[in-house]
Amino acid sequence: MADFVLLISDWYRLNARELPWRNTKNPYFIWLSEVILQQTRVDQGMNYYLKFIENYPTLNQLADADEEAILKLWQGLGYYSRARNLHKTAQQVRDEFNGAFPKTYHEIIQLKGIGPYTAAAISSFAFDLPHAVVDGNVYRILSRYYGIDEPIDTGKGKKLFQELADSLIPEAEPALFNQAIMEFGAIQCTPNNPDCESCVLNQSCISAFNSDLIKKLPVKKGKTKVRKRYFHYLHIEKGLEIALDQRTGKDVWEKLYEFPLIEREDDTMPLEFKDSASLSYQTKHILSHQHIYAFFYKSDETEIDGLDLKFVEKSQLEDYPIHRLMEKYLESR
């Protein structure tokens, strides 16, 4: 185990990418980067991170911000519940901790939207506490190196990998090791076609040079069923105004704006549109557990049965946070 820790740490010192959130001990900046990088590549998340710290340089400024402004800044990044939780957590820290980010793992994990991985990351990166991070990269490295075929998406598997990672974390420089193992998974022990020949761990890695094991590990017990949905949108303009609705309820894109929508069980044009609208654009939009088949219709009618149409100034459309599917449609025009 000591060799594993030493080899990965030495590799990191030579190969680490220069990333802005690695040059700070500010827990707010570290937390912000971790939230942004969930489900997001570093190259995509970088600009969002820089925009957020420019617009909200302190946690209290983020807490005091309007949620709609935060969603607008987040636009295009997806998984918008992250942005809403980011705002709520900032308000929780402002209200319950006088704006000072808590300094212990136990306190951090109590914050809204923060789980074991993020709590461990903030604890080690900001406060040098020995809490092991376990993300997709860590699952992949540990399962391949030790030849573990326990599924990572079960309670038993998560417990096993967390305990293994905890046994590896050094008391000295825990932040460096956590950064090292994640970086190693990101650029060396990659999901597909890792370069085992040049890997510093290949002499002791159980999966090294065994393409069968590399492809099979880590193991997942089962895939989440994909839901198909059919969204029928109505694009209506009235003079200098355009019809726009805000999504409500616990569903995708909560609190974002879009055209008036009728959801159906299939791709058939809604009866409400038959006499007044024509199809102008259609696309398939893929989310993690949903495939959305979207149809956009244009109409000159300003009253449609079954729809409560609300209009906003077209010149102000850019002020409203919209989801990527709406962006795709507007870009196609």
- Rounded average pLDDT per 10-residue block, the chain, 333 residues: 87 94 95 92 93 96 96 92 94 95 95 93 96 94 94 93 94 93 94 91 87 87 86 94 91 93 92 87 91 94 82 93 94 86
In a domain, 263, yes or no: yes
Based on the fold, state whether residues 237 and 286 are members of the same structural domain.
yes
pLDDT (0 to 100) of residue 142: 96
The CATH number that applies at residue 284 is 3.90.79.10
Based on the fold, state whether residues 203 and 252 are members of the same structural domain.
no
Does 34 qualify as catalytic in the annotation?
A: yes
Domain termination site, one of 216, 237, 260: 216
SS3 28: helix
Q: How many CA atoms lie within 13 A of 3 on its CB side?
A: 7
pLDDT (0 to 100) of residue 215: 86
Based on the fold, state whether residues 89 and 193 are members of the same structural domain.
yes
**Tokens of residue 303, six digits:** 């009253």
Active-site hit among 34, 183, 241, 258: 34
Domain termination site, one of 216, 241, 260: 216
In a domain, 147, yes or no: yes
Neighbour count for residue 30 (Cβ, 10 Å):
23
Domain termination site, one of 182, 216, 250: 216
The total domain count for the chain is 2
Q: What is the extent of the structural domain holding 133? A: 2-216
pLDDT (0 to 100) of residue 1: 62
Based on the fold, state whether residues 232 and 152 are members of the same structural domain.
no
With beta carbons less than 8 A apart as the criterion, state whether 5 and 170 touch. Answer: yes
In a domain, 222, yes or no: no
Based on the fold, state whether residues 96 and 190 are members of the same structural domain.
yes
Based on the fold, state whether residues 204 and 75 are members of the same structural domain.
yes
In a domain, 221, yes or no: no
pTM: 0.85
